[in-house]
C-alpha cells in the first residue's frame, strides 16, 4: 500500500506541475519562500550552495551515449564514484532556517560553476523581495571562482588544489577531507554539510499523511 500511495502522490504532483507550467510553478514556490522569510523576520542570510544528482528513467541514446534517448535534455554525470544519466539540482539554502532559496535544474554533465552566478543572483532576488540581504555564501571547492567570490561580501569557499597553493591562511580541504586555514573560516565552513540534510529530506520518498 505504501508504494501505491507514493506513486499516486508523485503522479498528482507531476500532473499539477505540467498543468501550471514550469514558470508558474517557479513563481508559486518563490512567493512561498518570500513569505516564510518575512514570517521568520530574516535579515542577514548565510546561503549554502551545492548540487545533487537526480537519476532519470531513460536509456542512453544509441547514437550519442552522453545523453538520454527518451529524455534528450538529460546528460551523463558523476554520481558518487560512478557516472549515470540524469540531471543536477543546483540549490541554495538559508543555513539558519534550512530553507531552500533558489534552484536550477540542469543536465548532469554541466559543472557547478556554470550555474553558480545565476544561482547566487536568483538567491539575492528572493532575499530582496523578503527585505533581507545575503551576508555570505558557503560552498565546496567546486564553486571556487573569482567571479563568484566578487558577487558577495564574504565567500567561504575552499580554494581548489591548483589555486594559490602556496598562499598561507587560505581555506582549503585536503584529500582526506581535512580543513586547513584560518580558524574562523574553518568554523564557518562547517555549516556547509547542512545542505546535504536538506537534499536528503527533499529526496525522501513521499508518503501519504493517511496511513
pLDDT in tens, the chain (211 residues): 444 444 444 444 455 556 656 677 678 788 899 999 999 999 999 999 999 988 887 778 777 777 777 777 788 888 878 888 888 889 999 999 999 999 998 888 888 999 999 999 999 999 999 999 999 999 998 899 899 999 999 999 998 766 566 666 688 887 878 888 888 889 999 999 999 999 888 877 544 444 4
Q: Write down the pTM of the prediction.
A: 0.79
Cβ–Cβ < 8 Å for 21, 36: no
Grid coordinates standing for 126? Answer: 528572493
Q: How many residues does the chain have?
A: 211
Cβ–Cβ < 8 Å for 163, 14: no
Amino acid at each position: 500500500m505504501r508504494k501505491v500511495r507514493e506513486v499516486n502522490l508523485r503522479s498528482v504532483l507531476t500532473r499539477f506541475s505540467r498543468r501550471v507550467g514550469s514558470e508558474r510553478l517557479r513563481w508559486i514556490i518563490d512567493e512561498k519562500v518570500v513569505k516564510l522569510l518575512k514570517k521568520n523576520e530574516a535579515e542577514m542570510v548565510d546561503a549554502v550552495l551545492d548540487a545533487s544528482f537526480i537519476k532519470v528513467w531513460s536509456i542512453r541514446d544509441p547514437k550519442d551515449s552522453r545523453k538520454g534517448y527518451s529524455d534528450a535534455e538529460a546528460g551523463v554525470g558523476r554520481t558518487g564514484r560512478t557516472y549515470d544519466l540524469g540531471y543536477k539540482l543546483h540549490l541554495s539554502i538559508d543555513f539558519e532556517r534550512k530553507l531552500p532559496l533558489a534552484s536550477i535544474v540542469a543536465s548532469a554533465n554541466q559543472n557547478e560553476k556554470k550555474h553558480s552566478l545565476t544561482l547566487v543572483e536568483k538567491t539575492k532576488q528572493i532575499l530582496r523581495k523578503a527585505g533581507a540581504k545575503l551576508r555570505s555564501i558557503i560552498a565546496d571547492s567546486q564553486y571556487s571562482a573569482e567571479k563568484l567570490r566578487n558577487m558577495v561580501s564574504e565567500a567561504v569557499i575552499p580554494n581548489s588544489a591548483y589555486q594559490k597553493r602556496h598562499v598561507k591562511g587560505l581555506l582549503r580541504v585536503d584529500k582526506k577531507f581535512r580543513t586547513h586555514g584560518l580558524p574562523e573560516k574553518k568554523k564557518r565552513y562547517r555549516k556547509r554539510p547542512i545542505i546535504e540534510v536538506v537534499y536528503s529530506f527533499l529526496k525522501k520518498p513521499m508518503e501519504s499523511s493517511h496511513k
